[in-house]
Amino acid sequence: MARSRDATVQAAVDVASVEGLEGLSLGRLADGLGMSKAGLVGRFGNRESLQRATLAAAIARFRRAVWEPAVDSEPGRERLERIIDLWIGHLRDDVFPGGCFVTTASVEFDARPGPLRDDAAAAVEEWLATLTSEAERARDAGDLPAARDPRDVAFELHSLASGGSVAGRLTGDSRALARTRAAMRRAAGLD
């Protein structure tokens, strides 16, 4: 029954997306995969390594869904617009059964020092840097008011996507993602 390491991590992503990385237990994951706890530990060393691999896989999923298709677009305004649509699509598709994984991890570890917190922080920092760079290009091209700080735009886009996705899931508001998209477009100076 033992499947590949990659399949194992993907299964862990699905569990942790709902239960959180702290709710990811070796016993339950092993049962779900039809293998033993010891076999799981043999692959990853210990639980924390599994958690880190799981977080890394979720980050890769996000990058593949939101960033990679956007590199075809012209940097700046056009690419920002594309990123927003891909991002909303990523959230709408329920790529993670329990909502945006990095948001879950961010909340879980924002007050708890350790490697998992560091990994999550690094991923968010990198994504914010990417968004900032795109906003900078947009501003330099005159597509954004010169007074707008690109870092502000990046931070705002991130806050809206992350906060909007959670609130929408929690309240069951079917229009939440449409509201979020509109707010993100306004923040990026697209409307």
Partner DNA sequence: GCTTATAGCAAACGATCGTTCGATATAGTC
Partner DNA sequence: GACTATATCGAACGATCGTTTGCTATAAGC
Q: Determine the Cα–Cα distance for residues 189 and 184; give it in Å rounded to an integer.
A: 9
From the list 29-37, 40-48, 76-84, 153-161, the region that binds a second copy by CB under 8 A is 153-161
Which DSSP letter does residue 74 get? Answer: P
Q: Are 188 and 153 in contact (CB under 8 A)?
A: yes
Q: Output 6 or 152, the one with its CB closest to a second copy.
A: 152
**12, 116, 124, 135: which one binds a second copy (CB under 8 A):** 124
Rounded to a whole number of angstroms, the distance between the first and last alpha carbons of the chain is: 53
35/128 with CB nearer a second copy = 128
The token pair that represents 185 in the structure block = 């477009």
Residue 46 binds to a second copy (criterion: CB under 8 A): no
List the single partner that 158 binds among DNA, a second copy, none, CB under 5 to 8 Å by kind. a second copy
Contact 162, 96 (CB under 8 A): no
Instruction: State which of positions 25-84 bind DNA (CB under 7 A).
Output: 25-28, 30, 34-43, 46-48
- Within 6-25, the residues that bind DNA by CB under 7 A are 24-25
Type and span of the H or E element at 119: helix 115-140
- The tokens for 42 are 């043999």
Position among 52, 63, 92, 169 found at the interface with a second copy (CB under 8 A):
169
Q: Which residues bind DNA (CB under 7 A)?
A: 1-2, 24-28, 30, 34-43, 46-48
